[in-house]
Each structure stands twice: as C-alpha cells, then as structure tokens.
Amino acid sequence: MRSLLKRHLVITALLLLYIVISLSYRFELLNTYVMQLIMFAGINVVMTVSLGMINGFTGQFSIGHAGFMAAGAYSSIFLTTVIFQLTGTALPGKTLWGYLLFFLALGIGGLVAAVTGFLIGLPTLRLKGDYLAIVTMAFGEVIRTIIRVSEPLGGPRGVGGIPEYTNFTIVFLFALASIWLMRNFLLSTYGRASRAVRDNEIAAEMMGVDTTRQKVLVFTISAFFAGCAGAIYAHLLQYIHPDNFTFMKSLEYLIYLYIGGASTISGAITGAVIFTFIPELFRRFQAWRMVIYSLTLVLVMLLRPDGILGNREFRFLQRSQK
Amino acid sequence: MNSLLEMHQIDHYFGGLKAISRFNLALQAGEIVGLIGPNGAGKTTVFNLITGVYAPMQGEIRFNGIPIHGKRPSVVSNLGIARTFQNIRLFSEMSVIENIKVAYHSRQNYSLFSALFLTKQFRVKEGEIDQMASQLLEIFGLPARAHKPAGSLSYGEQRRLEIARALATDPSLLLLDEPAAGMDPTEADDLLNLIKRLQKDFGVTILLIEHQMRVVMGVCERIVVLNFGETIAEGTPAEIQNHPKVIEAYLGGSTA
Amino acid sequence: MDYFLQQLINGIQLGTIYALIALGYTMVYGIIKLINFAHADVFMIGVYTAFFTATWYQVPFPIVIVVAMVVCAIIGVTMEKIAYKPLRYKPRLSALITALGVSLFLENFCALPFVFGPEYRSFPELIPLKRYVIWKTYDVSVTNIFLLNLGVVSVLLCGLFYLVNYTMIGKKMRAVSYDKATASLMGINVDRTISFTFAIGAALAGASGVLYGLTYRSIQSPYLGIWPGWKAFIAAVIGGIGSIPGAVVGSYLMGISEVYANSINSNIGFGMAFVILILVLIVKPTGLLGSKEQEKI
C-alpha cells in the first residue's frame, strides 16, 4: 500500500515539475537560456545514466560514450536535415510531417548508435579493465574521425540549419521514459547478471552467465539511449560539429557519473543535474570551472569513492516489492 | 555403462611447468569422489579444466558423452556442472538472495522486452525465481540474511552460500573446492552431513577437493590422490589411508 | 623518394618524443598497474619549465634539460604521494578516475592566467639550427636538432637499461612490479621504490618536453600534452604496456605511421593511431611485446 502511495507521490511530483516549468517559461518567468539549460540537464541525465549502466552496473570501463552520442546525432540529422540540404528541397519545418520525421530520426539515431555499440562491443569486451578503457576511447575518436572525413556529414565544418524540433516536453518525456526503461532493465534478471559480472566475473561465468554476451548487451542498450540523446541534442543545438563529441565530452559524463555515484541511477541523475547547473554559478570564473571540477573529482575519489549519493537509490527507483 | 564425467589422458602445462600429466578420471552418477594431494599437486587445475577455465593441452573431457574440453565456463555450467571456489567468490555487493537468483538467469529467463516493459511474464517469472531462491535459502539456513549484502556474512555462512548458489544452477555434477577450509571440527562435521544430504536429496554427483581428512574419509566413497600432477593412488578411503605412496607424498620419504 | 625518406626522418623524430613519454607510462603501469593519465601533463610541465628556464635565465641546453627533468621528477613523486598512494589497495577504477582528475586539474590549473596562462608561446632558439644533407641524390637532410634528439634519447635509454637491469634499485623495481607483497616481505621499501619509478618516468617525460620545445618550437597552451600524451600512451600499449622495449618499439612505429598518414590526409592522422591500436589489441590483446597477466582462479 505504502509503495503504491509512494509511486503516486512521485508521479504527482513529476507532473507538478513539468507544469511549473512549462508555465514559468510560458509566462516568461524563465528565459530561453534557462530553458535550454533545463533541456541540457535532461539530455545529460540520460547520457550519464546510460553510461552508468556500463561503468557502474556492469563494472566495465567505457570512456568513449560521446562517440555514441555523435553516432546518434549525425544519423538523426541525416533524415531531418542532410537529405533536404543535399537535394535542395525545403525543410518540412514544424509541421506534423516534420515532427513525424523527427521521431523517426530519433529512433534511427538510437538504432545506429546501438549497432555501433554492438559492433564495437563484440571484439573489445573481451578485454579487461584498462585495455577496455583505451579501446573505447580509441573508438570514440575513430567515430569522430569518420565523421570528419565524411563530406555529406559536413566534414570538419559540421552541419547547420538543423530544425529545432526539441522542446521541453519532448526532453522531459524522453528523460522519463529512458530512466524508466533503464531502471527496469537494471532491476530485472538482466540487471542481476550485469552486477554479477561486475562483482565477480569468473563466478558469474561459472553460474551460466555468458559474460561477454551480457557486456555486449548492456553496451548496446546503453549506446541506444546515448544515441537518442544525441539526436535530441542535435535538434536542440541546431548546429553540430565533430568537436562537440570529443573525448572531453566523454570525460564530462564520467565526472558527472563518478561524483554523483556510479553504482546507482540516482547518483547518475544527481551528478548530471548538479553539473549542468553549477557551472552557471561559475559563469564569471570560467577559467576556474574545470579546475574546481577536477579537484572535486579527485577529492571525491579519495574521500568518498562511492560518490555523493553512495550506494543508495531514491525510493521510487527501487523495487516496489521487496 | 556411460560415466557421468570422463577425463581421458589429460595433459596441461603452465609455461614450462607440467601441472597435470596423463590424468584420467571417470565419475559415475551419484558418487562422492575425493581428490586429494599435497598443495600444488594440481587439484584445482583439474577443476579449472573441467569447468572450462582452461582448455587442456592434450586429452578429452566428456560429460554425459558430450565433449566439454575447451568450452567456455558458462556453457559448461549450463550443461549441468557447478563448482565452488577455494577462495570464496561471492557477489559481495549483491544481497544473499540475489546471489542465488543469478543462477536462474540463463535458465528461467524472460525476454528483454518483458523486463523493459514490466509485462505479466516478467512479474510471474520473477515471482517464481523469488520462490525458488527463498526455498534454497531455507534449506541452507540463510533466510534471515536474504537481503543483506553477501559480503557481510560470517565466513561459515559465506561458504554455505557458495554451495547454495552452486546448487541453484541445478547441476548433475558438483565440484567442491576445499569447502571445509578454515572450519573447526564441529563445523566440518556439519559440512560432512550437508554433503551427504546433497547427494541424497539433490541427487548430485560430487567431486570434492579437501585437505581435512575428517571430511574426506567421512564422506567419500572413492578417493583419487594426486602428486605433482599425476595420479599416484586411487581407491576406497581405507585403501588410501594405508597406501605407501600416499603416505610418502604427504610426509615425504619412505616410512618403512 | 626523397619525400618518403624525409618523412621517415620526421617520423623518427616524432617517435623519439613519444618514446620518452611512453617509457613513463609503461614503467608506472608495470609497477602499480595504473594508467597515469596525468603523465601527459608532466610532459607539458617539462615543456613549460624548459621554456621559462631558457627565457628567464639564458642558460645553455644541458642545464635546461637537467632542470626540467628534476622539476618533473618532483611533480611526479608529489602526484603519486597525494593522489595515487591512498588508493593503492582500492579498486583500480578509482585510481584511474583519480588520474583523469589529476590530469584535468594540472591542465586547467596551468591555464589560469597567473600560472602559465592559456596563450601561445614561442620556444626560444636555444641552439641555432643547422642542416646537414646526408643523401645528395635525394636531397634528404637532417638537422643538428634531430641528431641531438637521437643523442639524448640514446643516452637516456642506455641509462635506463643499465638502471633497470644492473642496479639494486632496478632490481627492486622489477621485484615490486612482479609482486608487491612479497617484495615488501623481502625487505624492499615498496613506497620508496614506487616513488622512484614515478620520478624516473616523470624525468624522462620532462626530457621529452625539452626536446619537444627545442624541435617544434611552438607551445600552444597548457593543453599541449594531451595529444602527444595519448599517442605515446597508445604506443606503449601497442608495444605491450609494462614492457620497456615495447614502449620504444611502439613509439617509433606510432611516430612513423602518423607522419605518413598525415601526409596522405591530415584528418586521418589522428584516427590512424587509434585504428592501429584497436587492431593490435584485438589480435594480440597484450600488445606486441607484452606478456599475459595470470589470475589465480
């Protein structure tokens, strides 16, 4: 009974949040800039939580996550922008047809990223720890290089004129859906298998879990969400460039994840939200921003390695039946 | 009659060191067999070879007639062989009951779709998994600890959990690697009875590595003795106890 | 043909820079199994130290290189004591993340206006450039700087070889890299040995920094260590991380192939390194000259 009430509480709270933000924007209490920041928060949350699936829950060390974002971003704009630019036809704009195209592009972005994750995961997830980290970073850069040398994708100049299909509602629903799905995965037998791989890979293998298959599965699913996030990102920024998805970007998500707490979804969310909004407080001290981030990261690792949130999940993300 | 497990002329090396040499073993269904020998004799290597951690350099391993040498451990596990480890390998961050539930992942699986969308299949199967795991915990006397992290259990409880976890995979062959390590005589006796119960109630065949002779002599029907990677004796507990080669291996030098 | 040979020389030049950095990565990894991401920034500090020493004090090259090596050694040891030692027995992941944090910190801290500042600087001409044509028919030439590079790296490599294989401290380093616990039981001061390893690795990176400044003359920003660092690191991994000869072999391979790849298409240059890395790791996961780590099961 209590859990049901708790869940209703959560749904109500989320609804309230949505309404408050939407109305504030509508009545100009929040300007466009803050609204964009809020949308970035949503994107960052999905990126961080998906990274957490691999690093936190399955115990692997993937440090090229921005590569999946890039794959999703670039493949999505192909449908909504590039095709029109190449053939010289007019963009559909914010019509029903345009939005349908966008949702299709969103799905394609996710799928392309997922396939990329699968293809990368298959050969490399046999590698352990440090080696895996190196290879994932390498693949992130390879993806970027491929984009840079592809003329239809704008090469090193990037692609502009992307229609702004992303809005707060879409980001909000996307973030919610993504978190819900990833949470379900992690609370199921698939999540248990992942954590088993993390805690003791050899024992997991001895219990019938094909650890390579499990790692590749998590990798692929995580990449899917990162790819979708990338698609949403592209249609928010309206102009993307290979340098949007460098190793630095991957590092950012790593920082959000590990400071918030890598082994929980709540940690990932917290890290992403904090680090999307905190830099705004540092607007004046731009140069110091990364200095403080990095110092915080080191301090957290030395003093509280489980992250700010430690091992605890928010109530509504845990199982409803014990 | 076909043996449950057959190891035929197995050789295995580590670099230049011969770990196992011309090793042969045949286990019949329902037996409890002991594998003993001084440290470094190659006993755990035998386990690792059976379970697919290593692929033997030479020789064959068959389980129910199916060749399993060189197959990966998860495949071997799904064919019905389970093992415990010399140094406990529990999933320490996961709860006790979750440790058991991992066993059902490859056996009672529901689809990814069900998991993602919380379908009826998901709920029903999770319920079944929960029930099976709880029952197993009951049998091993661990239900009170079900939701505690496995790493927080006492040493004896952890060892029991290791065995429970192995049994959750519904094996026909159970490999126990020094299950009595670190136990005092009372605990060892409890373990002895547990192993006998395993054979009776679960119908598993057991291959046991153990140093505590109390347990070995008390529970094994047959014993194989290894030294320097080779079998030096094989027989009933009584035969082994007085076997000159065995005494020499453990004590060094002849006692004549 | 002359272009081919000239590029080969450029490749060797680049490989030399990478080699000195890669050695630090491989030695630290060999002894504590940590990828010290901040190593690249030690290299950067070497470059800047050389720059300031040369500009402010007008001292000759040998002093510049010694100062840079000493400063970097100190930084390396300090880094280890503060950020890595506390995590020595914790999960490897924590140390890796911390290393990333230290790296980011060093880069961004040095970019602050009152430290090094983010602006471009030009490295002074410590040694006037002289060109020697070595193959008249193909118009291939080497510079005195190139020869100096080769000279320095040869001396340092010989020194390192001697150190690791013929001295007591070298023996201790090798012992600790095999088995920390046993080494300490045999009376080796593990902490000091590890600190020493960091010091040597950092000093080599410092030397590389000096050569870099001398050869390429341009100091872009405190982020200049990132790319050479990653390339050198990849070189060390390709050669087999933990293996000193591997680091050297990998570095020259990396330098030469990078120069050639860049001459085909400058955009490919970056990606090339990574493609090679991926291929090598998939085919031989422990690198060309590396050895497999045995885990007791």
Distance (Å, rounded) from C-alpha A199 to C-alpha A209?
13
Q: Are C212 and C228 in contact (CB under 8 A)?
A: yes
Domain closes at, from B108, B142, B170? B170
Q: Which chain C residues are within 8 Å of B85, Cβ to Cβ?
A: 297
According to the model, what pLDDT value does residue B255 have? Answer: 42
When divided into structural domains, chain B yields a total of 2
Distance (Å, rounded) from C-alpha B35 to C-alpha B219?
12
pLDDT digits (tens, 9 = 90+) for B215-233: 898 899 999 999 888 888 8
Residues 185-204 of chain C whose Cβ lies under 8 A from any Cβ of chain A: none
What is the band of A180 on the pLDDT scale with cuts at 50, 70, 90? very high
The DSSP secondary structure of C78-114, one letter per residue, reads HHIIIIIGGGTTS-HHHHHHHHHHHHHHHHHHHTSTT
For residue C232, being part of any structural domain is answered with no
DSSP for residue B86: S
Distance (Å, rounded) from C-alpha C239 to C-alpha A121?
23
For residue C265, being part of any structural domain is answered with no
For residue C189, being part of any structural domain is answered with yes
According to the model, what pLDDT value does residue C292 have? Answer: 64
Q: Are A142 and A68 in contact (CB under 8 A)?
A: no
Average pLDDT rounded to a whole number, residues C127-154: 82
For residue B85, being part of any structural domain is answered with no
- Classify residue A17 as exposed, middle or buried by CB count within 10 Å of its CB (0-12, 13-18, 19+): exposed
- Say yes or no: B182 and B255 in one domain: yes
- Say yes or no: B176 and B255 in one domain: yes
When divided into structural domains, chain C yields a total of 1
The answer on pLDDT for B254 being more than 50 is no
For residue C128, being part of any structural domain is answered with no
DSSP for residue B27: E
Phi, psi of C16 (to 5 degrees): -65, -45
Contacts within 8 Å (CB) and 24+ apart, C185-188 = none
pTM of the model: 0.88
- Say yes or no: B176 and B245 in one domain: yes
Distance (Å, rounded) from C-alpha A233 to C-alpha A223?
15
Distance from CA of C90 to the nearest CA of B (A): 15
For residue C254, being part of any structural domain is answered with no
Distance (Å, rounded) from C-alpha A218 to C-alpha A198?
12
Domain residues for the domain of B13 are 1-80+172-256
pLDDT digits (tens, 9 = 90+) for C58-97: 888 899 999 999 999 999 999 999 999 998 888 777 888 8
pLDDT digits (tens, 9 = 90+) for A66-92: 999 999 999 999 888 888 877 877 777
For residue B163, being part of any structural domain is answered with yes
- Say yes or no: B4 and B119 in one domain: no
For residue B86, being part of any structural domain is answered with no
Touching subunits for chain B (3+ Cβ pairs under 8 A): A, C
For residue B253, being part of any structural domain is answered with yes
Q: Which chain A residues are within 8 Å of B83, Cβ to Cβ?
A: 206
Domain residues for the domain of C85 are 2-123+133-225
- Say yes or no: B149 and B253 in one domain: no
The answer on pLDDT for B1 being more than 70 is no
* B25 bridge partner residues: B7
- Say yes or no: B135 and B112 in one domain: yes
User: CB count, 10 Å around CB of A96?
Assistant: 8
Check if CATH label 2.60.120 holds for domain A31-317.
Answer: no
Q: Any CB–CB contact under 8 A between A205 and chain C?
A: no
Q: What residue ranges do the domains of chain A occupy?
A: 1-30, 31-317
Alpha carbon distances (Å) from A258 to A61, A252, A272, B216, C90: 12, 10, 10, 48, 15
Structure tokens at C94: 């924590």
B88, closest residue in chain C (CA to CA): C297
According to the model, what pLDDT value does residue C22 have? Answer: 94
What is the band of A47 on the pLDDT scale with cuts at 50, 70, 90? very high
What ipTM was reported for this prediction?
A: 0.89
According to the model, what pLDDT value does residue C65 have? Answer: 92
According to the model, what pLDDT value does residue A320 have? Answer: 46
Q: Any CB–CB contact under 8 A between B117 and chain A?
A: yes
Distance from CA of B122 to the nearest CA of C (A): 34
- Classify residue A58 as exposed, middle or buried by CB count within 10 Å of its CB (0-12, 13-18, 19+): buried
Domain closes at, from B155, B170, B185? B170
- Taking chain B, what is the end-to-end CA distance rounded to the nearest angstrom? 40
Distance (Å, rounded) from C-alpha C152 to C-alpha B193?
71
B46, closest residue in chain C (CA to CA): C297
Domain closes at, from B138, B154, B170? B170
What is the band of B24 on the pLDDT scale with cuts at 50, 70, 90? very high
- Say yes or no: B137 and B17 in one domain: no
For residue B212, being part of any structural domain is answered with yes
- Say yes or no: B56 and B19 in one domain: yes
Q: Which chain B residues are within 8 Å of C297, Cβ to Cβ?
A: 44, 48, 53, 85
